[in-house]
């Protein structure tokens, strides 16, 4: 890979990960919200399993997607407190005797919608049917997309024991899928130990910051969560870049496309020596387009392909195969690379709090800006109590900058 730029300092890298962690925490569910979320869908699962339509066929209902991967985001709609989660209603292979053949996929969705409609009416919930899933809106503001998947194990495939079939969007046939296998694949990727040549220096820098500023993530926690944090930041940037849907077609790249690209890039790049986690993160982001194929069909149309690592016949780039979506992805990828460099340049140059939060707002949204300001106030208050104040971006100390309290000197302003 060609040299991209001079390496950022350990101070800038440490402060960037603190900002990233602060932003991520503001978009993640609390333990209380997770308990409410799980109790809601467990109740739904029990009702579904006991229904006339699915009695004896339902094996379980489980989360997949961002909830299972640790990359769950608050919705873009600031007026909502709930979360959007994806659930799989897992059906035994015997379900194909009822829902296979002509009209089977449509009948399966009809039955799922009928059962969940009864549940929604009993609990005063809103419900909406889509092509191949049903959405329930719970009282907590949580939206749950429930998709039926029929077991279809592939003994020879990676994670083939959880392989299944899902109705296609036209409800004509079934497509291969493996939500649990994809979760396992992501976890295996995240468990790969990256190689950092300057890790001792960065750990020292993080320890120095942690002793001076509270709270900060531990260095080993940053390393463990690197892939999940990266995916969360990429998804958040995408949400801000594409904005809220307003009746026009949404060209934003799908979460599974972004997540799988990041994971595949991580598997390839993490074992290769990088100076710091920040260098690895930037290399992954810049290299993402290398990890799917672009081909031309007989009509000259560009077709993208990204194999599902847990379902060999599933193309995770299938939703990207329009000219508009492909162009939107290329533009978004260039933008996220540019925005991350701009934010890091501001931190490296000690540009001050105002400059940093201005970029954070443009790149990651209003909620991220508010959380950074809240975090700054808390750290300044902690600094005052300790007789000193932590400043991001002022001076030239190798880890963080710690100065005696002075008026108007926070963050280099």
Average pLDDT over residues 160-168: 94
> Of 193, 332, 367, 363, whose CA–CA distance to 257 is shortest?
332
Phi first, then psi: give them for residue 288, nearest 5 degrees: -50, -45
Q: Looking at the domain assignment, is residue 5 inside a domain?
A: no
Q: Looking at the domain assignment, is residue 3 inside a domain?
A: no
Q: Looking at the domain assignment, is residue 65 inside a domain?
A: yes
> Do 304 and 324 form a contact (C-beta atoms < 8 A)?
no
How many whole angstroms separate alpha carbon 401 and alpha carbon 151? 56
Q: Helix axis angle, 199-212 relative to 10-27, nearest 10°? A: 60
- Give the ranges where 138-225 is alpha helix by DSSP (H): 179-190, 199-212, 219-224
How many whole angstroms separate alpha carbon 211 and alpha carbon 202? 14
Please tell me which of 33-42, 88-97, 236-245 the model is most confident about, judged by mean pLDDT. Answer: 88-97
Name 308's bridge partners: 311
> Token match 């999940």: residue?
228
Query: Same domain, yes or no, for 196 and 173?
Result: no
Query: Same domain, yes or no, for 126 and 61?
Result: yes
At residue 404, the pLDDT reads 33
How many whole angstroms separate alpha carbon 30 and alpha carbon 32? 5
pLDDT of residue 159 exceeding 80, the answer is yes
Please spell the DSSP secondary structure of 242-309, one letter per residue: H----SSPP-PPPHHHHHHHHHHHHHHHTTS-BSSHHHHHHHHHHHGGGGSEEEE-TTS-EEEE-EET
- Give the end of a domain, one of 158, 177, 196: 177
pLDDT of residue 303 exceeding 80, the answer is yes
Query: Same domain, yes or no, for 262 and 348?
Result: yes
Q: Helix axis angle, 323-348 relative to 277-287, nearest 10°? A: 160
Which of 11-25, 201-215, 326-340 is predicted least confidently? 201-215
Average pLDDT over residues 169-197: 92
Report the chain's mean pLDDT, rounded to a whole number: 83
How many whole angstroms separate alpha carbon 242 and alpha carbon 245? 8
> Do 373 and 391 form a contact (C-beta atoms < 8 A)?
no
Q: For the chain, report the end-to-end CA distance as a whole number of angstroms.
A: 37
DSSP 154: -
Q: Looking at the domain assignment, is residue 2 inside a domain?
A: no
At residue 205, the pLDDT reads 43
Query: Same domain, yes or no, for 207 and 339?
Result: yes
Q: What is the CATH number of the domain that holds 128?
A: 3.30.460.90
> Do 271 and 195 form a contact (C-beta atoms < 8 A)?
yes
How confident is the model over 210-229, as pLDDT tens digits? 433 333 334 344 444 789 88
Query: Same domain, yes or no, for 173 and 202?
Result: no
3-state secondary structure of 27: helix
- Give the end of a domain, one of 177, 208, 243: 177
Query: Same domain, yes or no, for 41 and 87?
Result: yes
Please tell me which of 74-78, 86-90, 222-226, 321-325 the model is most confident about, judged by mean pLDDT. Answer: 321-325
> Do 411 and 352 form a contact (C-beta atoms < 8 A)?
yes
How many whole angstroms separate alpha carbon 140 and alpha carbon 405? 43
At residue 76, the pLDDT reads 59
Token pair, residue 43, equals: 């109740």
From residue 320, alpha-carbon distances to 182, 254, 255, 256, 346 in Å are 19, 8, 11, 11, 33
Q: Looking at the domain assignment, is residue 245 inside a domain?
A: yes
The pTM score is 0.83
Token pair, residue 337, equals: 């690379």
How many whole angstroms separate alpha carbon 306 and alpha carbon 413? 46
Q: Helix axis angle, 277-287 relative to 255-269, nearest 10°? A: 130
Q: Looking at the domain assignment, is residue 183 inside a domain?
A: no
* Residue numbers of the domain that contains 232: 10-28+188-412
Average pLDDT over residues 205-211: 41
Query: Same domain, yes or no, for 154 and 225?
Result: no
Query: Same domain, yes or no, for 22 and 35?
Result: no
Query: Same domain, yes or no, for 305 and 337?
Result: yes
3-state secondary structure of 89: strand
Q: Looking at the domain assignment, is residue 182 inside a domain?
A: no
How many whole angstroms separate alpha carbon 81 and alpha carbon 33? 10
At residue 34, the pLDDT reads 74
Name 44's bridge partners: none
Q: Percentage of residues in the chain with pLDDT exceeding 90? A: 58
Which of 149-158, 366-375, 396-405 is predicted least confidently? 396-405
Domain tally, the chain: 2
At residue 56, the pLDDT reads 92
How confident is the model over 70-79, as pLDDT tens digits? 777 766 555 5
User: pLDDT band at 346, cuts 50/70/90?
Assistant: very high
Q: Looking at the domain assignment, is residue 54 inside a domain?
A: yes
Query: Same domain, yes or no, for 221 and 361?
Result: yes
User: pLDDT band at 250, cuts 50/70/90?
Assistant: confident
- Give the end of a domain, one of 177, 209, 232: 177
At residue 201, the pLDDT reads 46
3-state secondary structure of 152: coil
Query: Same domain, yes or no, for 239 and 285?
Result: yes
User: pLDDT band at 399, cuts 50/70/90?
Assistant: very low
The rounded Cα 257 to chain-centroid distance in angstroms is 11
Query: Same domain, yes or no, for 123 and 271?
Result: no
Token pair, residue 116, equals: 């969940």
């Amino acid at each position: 890979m060609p040299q991209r730029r001079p390496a950022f300092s350990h101070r800038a890298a440490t402060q960037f990960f603190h900002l990233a962690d602060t932003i991520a925490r503001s978009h993640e569910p609390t333990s209380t919200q997770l308990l409410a979320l799980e109790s809601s869908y467990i109740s739904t699962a029990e009702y579904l399993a006991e229904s006339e339509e699915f009695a004896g066929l339902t094996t379980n209902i489980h989360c997949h997607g961002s909830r299972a991967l640790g990359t769950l985001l608050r919705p873009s709609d600031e007026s909502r407190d709930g979360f959007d989660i994806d659930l799989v209603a897992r059906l035994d292979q015997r379900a194909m005797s009822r829902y296979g053949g002509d009209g089977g996929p449509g009948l399966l969705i009809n039955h799922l919608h009928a059962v969940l409609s009864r549940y929604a009416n009993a609990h005063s919930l809103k419900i909406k049917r889509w092509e191949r899933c049903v959405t329930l809106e719970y009282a907590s503001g949580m939206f749950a997309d429930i998709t039926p998947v029929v077991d279809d194990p592939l003994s020879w495939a990676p994670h083939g024991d959880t392989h299944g079939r899902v109705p296609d969007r036209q409800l004509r046939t079934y497509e291969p899928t493996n939500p649990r296998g994809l979760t396992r694949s992501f976890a295996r990727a995240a468990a790969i130990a990256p190689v950092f040549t300057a890790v001792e220096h960065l750990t020292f820098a993080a320890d120095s910051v942690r002793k001076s500023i509270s709270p900060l993530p531990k260095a080993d926690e940053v390393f463990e969560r690197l892939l999940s944090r990266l995916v969360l930041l990429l998804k958040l940037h995408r949400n801000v870049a594409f904005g809220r849907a307003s009746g026009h077609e949404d060209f934003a790249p799908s979460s599974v496309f972004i997540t799988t690209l990041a994971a595949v890039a991580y598997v390839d790049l993490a074992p290769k020596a990088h100076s710091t986690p920040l260098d690895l993160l930037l290399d992954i982001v810049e290299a993402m387009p290398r990890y799917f194929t672009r081909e031309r069909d007989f009509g000259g149309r560009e077709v993208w392909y990204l194999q599902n690592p847990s379902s060999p016949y599933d193309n995770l780039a299938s939703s990207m195969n329009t000219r508009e979506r492909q162009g939107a992805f290329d533009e978004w990828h260039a933008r996220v690379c540019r925005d991350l460099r701009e934010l890091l340049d501001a931190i490296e140059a000690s540009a001050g709090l105002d400059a940093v939060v201005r970029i954070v707002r443009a790149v990651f949204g209003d909620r991220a800006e508010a959380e950074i300001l809240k975090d700054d106030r808390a750290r300044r208050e902690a600094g005052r109590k300790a007789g000193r104040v932590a400043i991001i971006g002022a001076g030239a100390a190798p880890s963080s900058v710690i100065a005696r309290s002075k008026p108007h000197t926070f963050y280099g302003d």
